[in-house]
Amino acid sequence: MKHKYTACLRYALTLLVALTGVITTGCVTEYDRDDIAEYVRGLGVDGVVSDSYTVVEDEKGYDDRYWTVTLDNGLTFHVIDDYGWGMESVSNYLRDDYSESALAFIADSLPEFKYLRFVIESGDEYSAHITASYTTPDELKACRNELAALRVAFTDLGFDGLSVRYTLEYMHPLRNVTDYVIDDADIFGFTDNEKSWDEMLAEYITTILDYRYDTSLVTEEQIDAALADYEMRVGIYRGDAVDRELYEPEKIEYYDDIIANKYYYGISFGSLYEILRREGFDVSGDAWHYSFTGADGSVYEISYDFIDSLYTDYDYTPRDGYYYLRDGEAQTMGAYFHNHFTVREIEELTGLKLVDSIVE
């Protein structure tokens, strides 16, 4: 009996090892030099692939395979056979650093720009992107013009259609006041895909309207155009229904220029001020810092400057964050970086029945 049990155990272990091999290697594709050459041709370039690859351990402990490609102009880049854990097993795929290597290769030959900056890092592979910052529509347009000039320079240097990632950062007043960077109105893209001016301007306009920043640098026509297809419109319900699911669309009045956050955070401190003012509340202050008497008779004080309440983040890191005052006592927000209220929170504070998107 003991011998039979041992044999069964040995069989079970052998089967387990075999199954483990299937699970961990079943989705791996073996790429050879010919496969890499075909991949390179797919990039639209003609280069010589190295005879062998170099193994580089990545940050997660997987051994990636680096093939080196050399072009006639002297540019070298890598095709990386990248390994990692997929949905249920180890898998791999091919990627490259051609665009990043090309930018590094021609960086010294590119014109100097007032706004655009090239961030290039080298190591086992190249990492590169383009960044710029702006605060006004004129500066945003200047960034866009420089991107157009950069595309021309790429073509002149023999790299027509080069696709490099870029970020145009909107340096608004609340961007860096907490540990969480509020990157609303940052423009993300790639150099080979030109964004329209209207698309870029709409990102800026919807952000300044959300936080109730100064709108004097844009026209009413530009605001109307930016909001034409914007779905996070703020409206007030004038009916008698208590359940939000029963709000009749015809009894909701939408404000022309008050909107909710495009990332579904709700209605900002500044936008709530504007709503209260338009709805006849006795509110003192301005969109940045104000106070009013709420539906429960309490005095509420709300400010973008109230950012020193102690929170514990999801990873147990202490953070300073937003709060508001009710009769002088601090009330924390849902998360340390939240400076928006939900419509339900606003109803509790004010009695106003708001919606933060278009109701069909």
- Backbone φ and ψ of 104, nearest 5°: -65, -35
Provide the residue ranges of all domains of the chain, joining segments of one domain with +. Answer: 2-96, 106-225, 231-355
Rounded CA Rg of the chain? 28
pLDDT for residue 282: 98
| Measured torsion, CA atoms of residues 18, 21, 24, 26, in degrees rounded to the nearest 10 | -100
pLDDT for residue 13: 43
In this structure, is the dihedral angle defined by the CA atoms of residues 344, 345, 349 and 355, taken in order, positive or negative?
negative
pLDDT for residue 26: 55
This prediction has a pTM of 0.88
**What is the side-by-side order of every strand in the sheet holding 117-121?**
117-121, 127-134, 165-170, 187-190
- Predicted confidence pLDDT, tens digits, the chain (360 residues): 444 344 444 444 444 444 444 444 458 999 999 999 999 999 999 999 999 999 999 988 899 999 999 999 999 999 999 999 887 888 999 999 999 999 999 999 999 999 999 999 999 999 999 999 999 999 999 999 999 999 999 999 999 999 999 999 999 999 999 999 999 999 999 999 999 999 999 999 999 999 999 999 999 999 999 999 999 999 999 999 999 999 999 999 999 999 999 999 999 999 999 999 999 999 999 999 999 999 999 999 999 999 999 999 889 999 999 999 999 999 999 999 999 999 999 999 999 999 999 988
H and E: helices and strands count for the chain: 8, 21
Report the Cα 301 to chain-centroid distance in Å. Answer: 31
| Measured torsion, CA atoms of residues 33, 77, 187, 340, in degrees rounded to the nearest 10 | 70
Give the strand pairing for 76-85 and 90-96: antiparallel
pLDDT for residue 15: 41
Question: What stretch of H or E contains 205?
Answer: helix 197-211
